[in-house]
Amino acid sequence: MELRKSRFIRMGSKVWASVIIGALVAVMPVSPSSAVSRQGSFSCTANAARTQTLYQPSNPAYSPCKDDANWFAQLQPILGLGNLGAVRTYTDQQPDDLTSARPRSGDYATAYAEAAGVNLDLGNGIWVRTGALWSRSTVVCARTLTGPRPQFSSAGSVVTVNLNGKSYGTTGNYIKLAVPGYTIEINKVITTSTSKTRQALVITRTSFWGSFRIIVGESKVGVSGNPCK
C-alpha cells in the first residue's frame, strides 16, 4: 500500500508539472520572430479633393496602407473658386496587420472618397456643377494560374454634371469635355502594374494665365512586392 501511494504521488507530481508548464506556455507573449513574413505590402490613400493641398485625406502617407477615415458635413472651399458639399473618405486593409496572419485569398486594401456635390466658378463665365460623386479603388488577393496575386479594380459615379448650363446624366464611364482653357475629365482611371487610381472629377487649366489641376473624389491603392505570398 505504501509503495502504491508513493507511486501515485510521484505520478501526480508529473501530471501537475505538465499542467503548469502548459499554462505558462499559453500565456507567454508571442515572440516577434514568430510574426508572419510576407513578400510585399499594400498601399492606400483617399482624398475628397486635391490641388496643391489635400482636402480631408485618409492615410495621406499612402504607404503602408492603414485604416483611416474622415468626414466633414460642411462646405469645403477649393482655391477660392467654389466649394464641395459634405465629404467623406476612408481607407481600409484586411487584415489590419499583415504580419498577424498568413496570406490568404480575400486579403485586401481599399480606398474610398465621396462628395455631396461640386460647385466651381472657373472664371470667364465657366461653371462646373455636379451632384453627388464617389470613387473606390481596391486591390484584393486572388488565386491565379501563377499563384496568389494582387488583383486591382475600381468603381465610381458622378451624378448630373452641368458644364455651362449643359447637363450630362449620371455616369460611371469616362468622359472628357473641353472648354476654352480647360479640360474636364469624369471618372478618370489611372492603372499601372502596381497601382490603381480613380478620380471622379479632374479639372485641368492650361492657358496663358497659368495652369492648375483640381481633382475631386480621388482613391488610390497599390502594392509593393507581392503581399499575397
Sign of CA dihedral 173, 62, 89, 152: positive
pLDDT in tens, 42-72: 999 999 999 988 888 999 999 999 999 999 9
Rounded to an integer, the average pLDDT of 194-207 is 93
Contact present, 98 and 130 (Cβ < 8 Å):
no
pLDDT in tens, 151-175: 999 999 999 999 988 888 888 999 9
- pLDDT value at 28 more than 60: no
**Predicted confidence band at 12 (pLDDT cuts at 50, 70, 90)?**
very low
Buried b (16+ CB within 10 A) or exposed e, 22-58: eeeeeeeeeeeeeeeebebbbbbbbbbbbbeebbbbb
- pLDDT value at 111 more than 90: yes
DSSP for 80-124, written as a single string: TTEEE-SEEEEEEEESSSGGGS---TT-EEEEEEEES-EEEEEET
Rounded to an integer, the average pLDDT of 2-16 is 41
* pLDDT top residue among 3 and 193: 193
- DSSP state letter for 31: P
Q: Average pLDDT over the chain, rounded to whole?
A: 85
User: Where do the structural domains in the chain lie, given as residue ranges?
Assistant: 1-30, 33-226
pLDDT (0 to 100) of residue 212: 85
| Lowest mean pLDDT across 41-45, 80-84, 219-223 | 80-84
pTM for this one? 0.83
The closest alpha carbon to 215, from 176, 196, 188, 182, belongs to 188
